[in-house]
Amino acid sequence: MPNVAIILSGCGVYDGTEINEAVLTLLELERNGINYQTFAPDMLQAHTINHAKGEATQETRNVLVESNRITRSETGALEDLDVSKFDALVFVGGFGAAKNLSNFAFDQPHYQAIPQVNEVIQTFHSQNKWIVALCIAPVLLAASLPNIKVTIGNDQEIASLLESKGHTHVECKTDNFVVDVTNQLITTPAYMTGQSIKEVHEGIQATIQHLGTKIS
């Protein structure tokens, strides 16, 4: 049975992992007969947002600890991810990808993925293993790999930034996905364009089904 590593970035759309995207991804992996293990970096979040008010607070939270809120305490430290045990890699969206797994939210256009994330992307890629990225997470792939084809939906500002770095951006609707066959990447917009959990589910469902055809 195929085995997939999933990278989370905290708990909550504004400062961590987009929870709906995470749960839908886990559900679709299970429905497609794919084993998975979740991982997150053991580090402090860039900041903490009060999700009721959309305002920053003075709280300090840990990305790994927060990620375990989503997975019922099943998420391991990213440093313990053994690439040889997995057939593919999945990045879930949420602003944590842009704030904790990279500094995309704070340092455009000169952003970078954090070293742990950069290393895991390059290692999976060098071993010709498929990588999936949802929502804003394709920016992580664009930070770590050259000349790739991805989608973040239809955001022209981000698309232009990615294209300025030599990548190809493809506009994509919520219920669809984009495949870079050469680099073995699958990306889908999720909540970058989605207005409902039903729409987002359709895109994630199609994406994971396609991944299953590549690793089964």
Active-site amino acid positions: 135
Residue with tokens 């992992």: 17
The span from the CA of 216 to the CA of 206, in Å, is 15
